[in-house]
A and B are shown apart, each in its own frame.
Chain A
Amino acid sequence: MIEIVNLHKYFKQLEVLKGIDMQVTKGEVVCIIGSSGSGKSTLLRCINFLEKKNEGQIWVGGQLVQDTEIDIINLRRKVGMVFQRFNLFPHMTALENVMEGPLTIKKFDKVSARDIAFAYLDKVGLADKANEYPARLSGGQQQRVGIARAMAMEPEVILFDEPTSALDPELVGEVLKVMKDMAKEGMTMVIVTHEMGFAREVSDQVLFLHEGIVAERGTPRDIFELPQHDRLKSFLGQVCLTA
């Protein structure tokens, strides 16, 4: 589905990603964990070219993605993204936010775009909020609209960058539940998260990123019960203490 080979990323002199390799197969849930500044967001943003990589290859669906406008736009239509700060369009209602992809990008007519959007809003449990503007929704509701907006493009994979870390603790659960349902239905997902319990429960593969390299990878069992790397051990120790 997605294959990343030897990805390097610099910000000026600072090498943030130092040769990342990763594979995501269809239907898989991959969680990326690691301490702040280890490059998790940068990795995710390089996958859909929101950041320009300096070196390495990205393959999607068996095709190498070139650094051209056409390739990048095609890739983005197949790879959705959910943001930490939601980034909903404030001048559109929840329904219009979700319709926007089918309508503007896929060029569906208004009626079918609306039907698709409504179905996805219903899926995230917000059918009754369809006509509200984002400013009148709670953080958890906004993030669920964000997820519905990504799903409405019917992408092959969705990237999540800390989807719950801007939320009040009591709102985290509703978003994680939606994501769990998606995982159950076989959606391919790459999730950067600090929610260790969630990562443990839903992932097929966990990557531990440390200083721009994948320091350890494996099943949730490998990572959480049999950590090898000292850094991972101390990271898990810290997270469990703070959690």
Chain B
Amino acid sequence: MINNILEFFTTVVVFTPKFIPGVFMTFKLSVLSIMMGTVFGLLAAMLKLSHNRLMEAFTDFYVTIVRGTPLLLQLIFIFYGLPQLGIEFNSFFSAVIGLAFHNGAYISEIFRGAIESIDYGQREAARAMGMTKYQTLRRVILPQAIKRSVPALGNQFIIAVKDSSLASAITITETLMLSRQFVAATYNVFPIFFIAACYYLLITSGLSRLLLRVERRFKIYER
């Protein structure tokens, strides 16, 4: 018993620093896929609300594909499938594109919902003053819609961090992949995965706190 506990702690102490490169990769994948996913999401939401049939159909197609198939399959398809069509990306790029694409679809739905929830009187007031459609969007609709999206966006960002672990399926050495390598080398399953879980929790709870702060800053104009 005492021996077991001792072994657990020594493994944790020895392996915790060894995780740094994997955690760094998880972090990089998360940040890039969240940022690009937000841009994709905003674009897709704009297209969806553009009143242009073709653009609407295009974004519907995008959202349907992403939501209707597993992310793991999407990543494998991009990395192993697309090269057959002559479209080849390296594994890191495939992972970022795949994750960003995936997050973008969900984020576009979040933005769309938020934009549609803004009182129609807001758009009318802006247009009646003489604003163009673009000015109305930028000055009046988006600031309010983004504020309303923050809680749901935060949720999606946290999912994005956890989903980045699927990149291990396409040869990316991120936190999960690294843990499996350590396990294969040491057969010491429990402490290794324990460390991995702690790292994920560290990242996601840090992100949660950041988001809470953003939410609070946006609260000033409410009663």
Q: A83-B124, A87-B121, A104-B139 are in contact. Are A153 and B130 (CB under 8 A)?
A: yes
Given contacts A91-B143, A100-B139, A105-B135, contact A136 B223 (CB under 8 A): yes
Shortest beta-carbon distance from B122 to chain A in Å:
6
The reply to whether A105 and B122 form a contact with Cβ atoms under 8 Å apart is no
Task: List chain B residues, Cβ under 8 A from A88.
Answer: 125
- Give chain B's interface residues, CB within 8 Å of chain A: 119, 121-122, 124-132, 135, 139-140, 143-144, 147, 220-223
Tell me whether A77 and B221 are in contact in the complex, defined as CB-CB below 8 angstroms, given that A104-B135, A105-B135 are known contacts: no
B126 cross-chain contacts in A, Cβ below 8 A: 89
A85-102 vs B: 1/0 string, CB under 8 Å? 101111110000000110
Interface residues of A in 90-145 (CB under 8 A from B): 90-92, 100-101, 104-105, 133-136
Q: DSSP majority for the B interface?
A: helix
- A: residues with CB less than 8 A from B are 48, 50, 69, 73-74, 76-77, 80-81, 83, 85, 87-92, 100-101, 104-105, 133-136, 149-150, 153
Nearest Cβ in chain B — how far from A211, in angstroms? 25
Among A81, A90, A135, A153, contact of B144 (Cβ-Cβ < 8 Å): A90
Q: Check B128 against A81 for contact (C-beta < 8 Å).
A: yes
Which A-chain residue is minimally distant from B143 (CB atoms)?
Answer: A91
Say which residue of A50, A85, A91, A100 sits within 8 Å of B128 (CB atoms).
Answer: A50
Q: A100-B139, A104-B135, A105-B135 are in contact. Are A90 and B128 (CB under 8 A)?
A: no
- Report B-chain residues with C-beta under 8 Å of the C-beta of A91: 143-144, 147, 221
Alpha-carbon separation in the docked complex, A149 to B128 (Å): 11
Question: Do B220 and A89 touch across chains, with their CB atoms under 8 A apart?
Answer: no
**Contact between A153 and B129, CB atoms less than 8 A apart:** yes
